[in-house]
Structure formats: structure tokens, C-alpha cells
Amino acid sequence: MSGKPVLHHRIPAQRYADAFTLRPVERPPEGPGIQLYYDEDGMALAHGDGRRLFRLRLDRIKTRASQSLLLARACGAGKCPSVADLYAGWGTDGLSLALKGCAVTLVERSPLVWALLDDLVARHALPATVVSGEAGSWCLGQRKGVDVAYLDPMFPPRRKHALPDQSMQLLRELAEPDGLGLAERLEQARAAARQRVVVKRRIHDPAVGRPAWQLRGGRIRFDVYRA
Ligand SMILES: C[S@@+](CC[C@H](N)C(=O)[O-])C[C@H]1O[C@@H](n2cnc3c(N)ncnc32)[C@H](O)[C@@H]1O
């Protein structure tokens, strides 16, 4: 029995044969938990009561790209650098940078999250490379191979706050805690980047070490470190 996660597919899924155990189906899988499902509309997560389908949407990312001026400034996107987004998640930040002309590599550890992101990028021929893997291992192979490394670690959930939207709830369920402290991750990112490392933080979170400069938004902040 393979330890690979299962991909339920209605259409051929050979592209994903190395990463998943392929299971042909006619309709979205029933059953508990979050399951991966692939059909004519792309990769999806079947989840919750009634097996709702969650899919990534390019229009949302495009809207976000037009709003993400602070992230673009923090990464120096005007000069179209190469950027490694080491905690890619749903790709909203990384693809915003790609749509602004940066050469972006998206690194994501969760296989299910990676599958949705990979399908979105392939389906729309977006200008980004999607890597299924762990940030530290990827950085080891780089040695100053990119201009900018970007880190958006999962913020701890806050008590007494409204539930995050569905995409963040699913990401929280799928993403295991990183397991490495942010200071150590920052050093790995520095070893991979030639120019700078950008870390997204909640506005009142303490900085890790001493950033060269900070850009502040309403609720979040970007700490920028020289590489
Ligand atoms: C807060 S989310 C990133 C959200 C992303 N910036 C976006 O715009 O959607 C953090 C992501 O990092 C991933 N992650 C956590 N530890 C990782 C690691 N060591 N290597 C690669 N990815 C990791 C999680 O699976 C999760 O998808």
C-alpha cells in the first residue's frame, strides 16, 4: 500500500502520478476530511458537509495583485527580480509578484496545496515555477540563486476573532506547523538570496533580528533584511 495521498480524478491525471495514488471516480469523493478531486474545472478540495468543492480562482489573484503595492515595494518588484516564495500556500502573494513581472518560484510543502497551485499555474500558463518541497531543502540547493526570498509563515490563530475565510481555514487544516523557528528559516533564506529577504508579519508582532527596513500596512507589516 502506497503512503502517497490519494487524488480522485474524473479526467486523466498522469501529470500527478508521481505525487499521488490515482483513483478514477465519476463524482467528488464522499467521506470525512479533506480530499483531492480533479475534473474538467481543475483541481479541487472536497470538504465539509455536502462535500463542497474549493478551487483556486485566478480572478481573485488578479484582484489581489492590483492591491498588493506594499508587497511589491518590499520585494522591489519594479526591477523584476527573481523571487522565491518559500511558503507559497495558495500563491496569492507569489503570483501577484509574478503578474507584476517577477520571475517567481513557488515552494510549497503540503502536497494537496501544491496540487491546487500547480494546476492553477499550468491551466492558465502563469509565469511561475511551482515546486513541491520543503523550504529548507530547496534553499540548500540555491546558494544565492535568487534575488529575493519571501517568507509568509502561518500566523498563530487569534482568540476572540472572527473565523478566517474558507481558503484560510482550509490552509490552516492542511499546513502542518513549520517545525523550524523563523530566525533559522531567515538564515536559510539569506543563504539562497542575493539581495534581500522579505518577511510578512502581523503589524504588532516583534521583528526577528534587525530588519534593514519595514513597510507597514493596516494589519500587516513587511520586514526587509539584506541578504
Ligand atoms: C500562511 S501560508 C502562505 C500563504 C501565501 N502567502 C498566500 O498568498 O496564499 C504558509 C504556507 O507555507 C507552507 N509551509 C509551511 N512550512 C513550510 C516549509 N517548511 N516548506 C515549504 N512550505 C511550507 C504551508 O503549507 C502553507 O501553505
Count of domains observed in the chain: 2
The closest-lying atom of ligand 1 relative to the alpha carbon of residue 89 is 27
Q: Going by CA atoms, what residue is nearest to atom 1 of ligand 1?
A: 154
Question: What spacing in Å lies between the alpha carbon of 145 and ligand 1's midpoint?
Answer: 20
pLDDT for the residue numbered 161 = 65
Pocket probe for ligand 1: among 108, 140, 155, 176, the residue whose CB has the most ligand atoms within 8 Å is 108
Specify whether 46 is located in the same domain as 116.
Answer: no
Torsions phi, psi for 100 (to 5 deg): -95, 5
Q: Ligand 1: list residues with CB < 6 Å.
A: 87, 89-93, 107-110, 113, 134-135, 152, 154, 171, 175, 178
- Predicted pLDDT of residue 176: 83
pLDDT for residue 216 is more than 80? yes
Q: Is the pLDDT of residue 169 over 70?
A: yes
Mark whether 68 and 178 lie in a shared domain. Answer: yes
Q: Are 86 and 195 in a shared domain?
A: yes
Same domain, 37 and 64: no
Reported confidence tier of residue 138, pLDDT bands at 50, 70, 90: very high
Cell of 94: 507569489
Distance 221 CA to ligand 1 centre (A): 17
- The whole-number average pLDDT for the span 90-97 is 97
| Ligand 1 midpoint to CA 113 (Å) | 9
For residue 94, give the ligand 1 atom closest to its CA.
8
> Are residues 219 and 192 part of one domain?
yes
Classify residue 20: in a domain, yes or no: yes
Same domain, residue pair 152 and 204: yes
Please check whether residue 129 lies inside any domain of the structure. Answer: yes
Contacts of 104 (CB under 8 A, 6+ apart): 82, 83, 84, 85, 94, 95, 97, 98, 127, 128, 129
Q: What is the mean pLDDT of residues 164-191?
A: 91
Nearest protein Cα to ligand 1, atom 15: 178
The answer to whether residues 123 and 38 belong to one domain is no
Using alpha carbons, select from 182, 166, 162 the residue that is nearest to residue 174: 166
Instruction: Output the pLDDT for position 162.
Output: 65
Q: Are residues 188 and 200 in the same domain?
A: yes
Q: Do 177 and 191 sit in the same domain of this protein?
A: yes
pLDDT of amino acid 116: 98
The pLDDT confidence band at residue 12, using thresholds 50, 70 and 90, is: very high
Give the residue, by CA position, lying nearest to ligand 1 atom 16. 178
Residue 1: inside a domain, yes or no?
Answer: no
Q: What is the pLDDT of residue 49?
A: 78
Distance (Å) of CA 6 to CA 3, 39, 100, 134: 9, 14, 35, 20
Q: Give the tens place of pLDDT for each residue, 40-62.
A: 999 999 998 778 999 999 999 99
In order of 17, 36, 38, the CA distances from 25 in angstroms are 15, 11, 9
Q: Which domain holds residue 193?
A: 58-226
In terms of Cβ atoms closer than 10 Å to its own Cβ (0-12, 13-18, 19+), residue 178 is: middle
User: Model confidence over 192-207: pLDDT tens digits?
Assistant: 999 999 999 999 999 9
